[in-house]
Amino acid sequence: MSTVFRKIIDGDISCYKIFEDEHTLAFLTKDAIRLGHSLIIPKIDIDYFIDVPGPYYSAIFKNAQP
C-alpha cells in the first residue's frame, strides 16, 4: 500500500518542494500552522522513525539546520 509521503516523493501528489537531495525531501505543508511550515521526510518507506537508517537520519537533521 502506498502512503501519502510515497506518493509525494514519486510525484503522484503535487507539492511545493523547498529542497531535495538523495536522502530527503522538504516541502511546504498543505494545511500550514504558520507561514512557511514545512516537512522534511526521508525518501524511504519506514513504519517508525527509530528505524530510519543512519544516512537518512543524518541527512534529515543536517538539512533541518538553518
Domain limits, the chain: 4-64
Please write the tens of the pLDDT for every residue from 40-54: 999 999 999 999 999
Indicate whether 66 pLDDT > 90: no
pTM: 0.87
Cβ(27)–Cβ(38) under 8 Å?
A: yes
The neighbour count for residue 7, using CB atoms within 10 Å, is 13
Please write the tens of the pLDDT for every residue from 10-27: 999 999 999 999 999 999
Q: Class assignment of domain 4-64?
A: alpha beta
How many residues make up the chain in this entry? Answer: 66
Indicate whether 1 pLDDT > 80: no
Cβ(34)–Cβ(42) under 8 Å?
A: no
> Would you state the pLDDT for residue 56?
97
d(CA 51, CA 35): 30
- Regarding predicted confidence, which is higher, 32 or 46? 46
